[in-house]
Structure 1
């Protein structure tokens, strides 16, 4: 079933070694692109593949050693991905996952690959979801290609936007409006989105929206500190990072109050991850968050939405 411009896509994920932790090969039905994903332990198997000894692009990704909780990414292109990805991997210690992108019919030229590399770097930098290890950002206007080739490469990129999140790398997705359009009032930039709130007995208040599957706590929200509760390592490290980056601040909070304020919106992986930071303890965000102005929990709201969608189908 299709709705508007939304339609289904078939992605084939082949486990080369028959193991979920082994080398993976991903393709989209009707697309000549081939995406291989390897860990450090399967890197040798990746570079042995004939498809990798072709013109294409590659990505090295892993935890950012300088920013806790962030992902670091290096993007490259080559006439032989096999040789260049080996060289790049030897120079970089941060990477844990290697992704090689070529084509089944070997129809990418050097110009195509350089265009894709430049556009990937540009889109990734604009999205701001990862730290780029690339020292420079190539100028896409200098990658002169015929008009038809540019259109084909943009379609190639559109398919990568679909397949990369499936293999665990969400670096191309634009940030939500609630995060990027901060010059607009909250109500204006969250038009059409349901707002959720936490009103805790401690006096802490927080507001959030869910946009395109991401849970965003809005600026002005508050978070408890120094409660003495045992915290999960992830929540603790996230709060430390938010303090370091100036997202959470004491500005606007009264002296002696054991809370912080969100100076700008922040995207969390789930309602529970957001609630844990706000309440300074392990929290079930599906229960803690309520639809703003009501007693309906996030969980109950989801159930209602699911029922409406089922009825519409």
Structure 2
């Protein structure tokens, strides 16, 4: 499928990333807004806040995992005021409105439902809510909103949150990057994975050694503990089993998590022919 470049314009209202940021695409009537919770009152009289829109509340859950709540509003300002009064666990919001009158109650409810579906499917954030109702719209209306949705997805990632992006979408589609690599040990550890634009994806059902060697890096030890607490790892016999695809920030971190020791991922990860990753990256 052919893809085309996009021009994104980010505007930092007060000149820093700690205030309100708007995000726009060329030839698109929509606009995205990101703002910290503590700054909403300061900016809430801006015109973007007075319109119908779909929004994402972003914060951390009880186990410090990324958490999001997706909603819709006929007037964004009013709904955010309700969440400020009644909901504690979010620290910033990203919302999308239209610069014209394109979005209405039915269209934002459709976007809310579809964004919920995308976020759950991606599995990157804990989605803390019930399934939103999907309104009945014509095929033509749905097609137009799917195009709007694709831009929402791009801009949400550009604003720092990839909650709608499937892990598979981060895999480079070059010849080498499409290969599956293997990391294993004589003790029975066995992981499969692929290089990604975000690091290295290890695939579901990979088996990690539970026993950690004395020099095992503290940071990876803590990451494995957090994965266990969140149910991303579960105990299966003498191994941890990965319950979902998971991105590590490097091949070496992924290999170390698998083997329970320090590891050079570019040596430990090999393709089906036994060729080390380091020989295939150049």
TM-score, scaled to structure 2: 0.83
2:255 match: 275
Q: Where does the alignment leave 5 or more consecutive residues of structure 2 unmatched?
A: 170-176
Q: Deviations over 1:37-67 (max 9, x none)?
A: 11234333442322111111111011112x4
2:148 match: 156
2:9 match: 12
2:53 match: 56
2:79 match: 84
Shift of 1:84: 0.5
Residues 118-267 of structure 1 correspond to what in structure 2 (within 5 A)? 118-134=113-129, 136-140=130-134, 143-176=135-168, 193-199=178-184, 204-210=189-195, 215-218=200-203, 219-229=205-215, 231-233=217-219, 235-244=220-229, 245=231, 247-251=233-237, 253=238, 260-262=239-241, 264-267=243-246
Task: Indicate the SS of the match to 2:280.
Answer: helix
Distance 1:283 1:163, change over 3 A: farther
**1: distance between equivalents of 2:124 and 2:103?**
28
Check whether the contact 1:60–1:89 (CA below 8 A) recurs between aligned residues: no
Distance 1:221 1:250, change over 3 A: closer
Distance 1:64 1:284, change over 3 A: farther
Aligned-residue Cα RMSD (Å) equals 2.9
How many residues are aligned here?
273
TM-score, scaled to structure 1: 0.75
Shift of 1:281: 5.1
Q: Where does the alignment leave 5 or more consecutive residues of structure 1 unmatched?
A: 178-191, 254-259, 305-313
Shift of 1:137: 1.1
Which residue of 276, 279, 282 corresponds with 1:296? 276
Shift of 1:9: 1.0
Which residue of 41, 45, 50 corresponds with 1:44? 41
Task: Indicate the SS of the match to 2:164.
Answer: coil
